[in-house]
Amino acid sequence: MYQYLLADAKLRHMLNLSPQCGIVTFLTWLMVLIAVFCAILGAKAMVSDEKDFLELQKEADKKIPRKKSVADIRPVYNCIHKHLQQTDVFQEKTKKMLCKERLELEILNSRINCINKLLKPEAQTEWRRSRLRKVYYRPINSAASK
């Protein structure tokens, strides 16, 4: 405060004003008020920025795991990865086995169809006819024999 009064006196002396001149005192008080107001606003902004920084830091800590938590996650990841690899191997073996079973079913189905064709009476008679020896004979004419 003393420094302020000295600065006010020096300013009046430089401007050759009398000690009763209130305009200079008013202007200096106005500058002091503006400086105090800016200091208060700066302090409030700094406090709010620090508060926002701490909130964002907490959110980042929740979302981004630190080195220790990553080290904790690694064994679980390895276990899950190994399980997924085993599952892939099992699926491949199952696919191969299903293809083999499907082929066996197709073979059995074709055999059943062949057996069914052989057991049908029409097919059986055709088969017997095709297996009979061909005998050549001459038709007997009733007119020639008379």
Number of domains in the chain: 1
Model confidence over 45-84: pLDDT tens digits? 999 999 999 999 888 878 776 666 666 777 778 888 899 9
Asked whether residue 5 is domain-assigned, the answer is no
Across residues 93-119, what is the average pLDDT? 93
- b/e sequence 44-59, b meaning 16+ C-beta within 10 Å: eeeeeeeeeeeeeeee
- pLDDT score at 87: 93
52 or 4, higher pLDDT: 52
The rounded mean pLDDT for the chain is 80
Q: Are 8 and 25 in contact (CB under 8 A)?
A: yes
Asked whether residue 135 is domain-assigned, the answer is no
Across residues 91-114, what is the average pLDDT? 95
- pLDDT score at 6: 79
Answer whether residue 104 shows pLDDT above 80.
yes
Asked whether residue 138 is domain-assigned, the answer is no
Asked whether residue 132 is domain-assigned, the answer is no
Model confidence over 108-135: pLDDT tens digits? 999 999 888 888 766 555 555 555 565 5
Report d(CA 34, CA 32) in Å as an integer.
5
Asked whether residue 85 is domain-assigned, the answer is yes
Asked whether residue 133 is domain-assigned, the answer is no
Asked whether residue 84 is domain-assigned, the answer is yes
> DSSP 3-state assignment of 141?
coil
Report d(CA 9, CA 3) in Å as an integer.
10
Tokens 């276990």 appear where?
Answer: 79
Structure tokens that stand for 39 in this block: 């200091």
Asked whether residue 50 is domain-assigned, the answer is yes
Q: Which domain holds residue 24?
A: 13-120
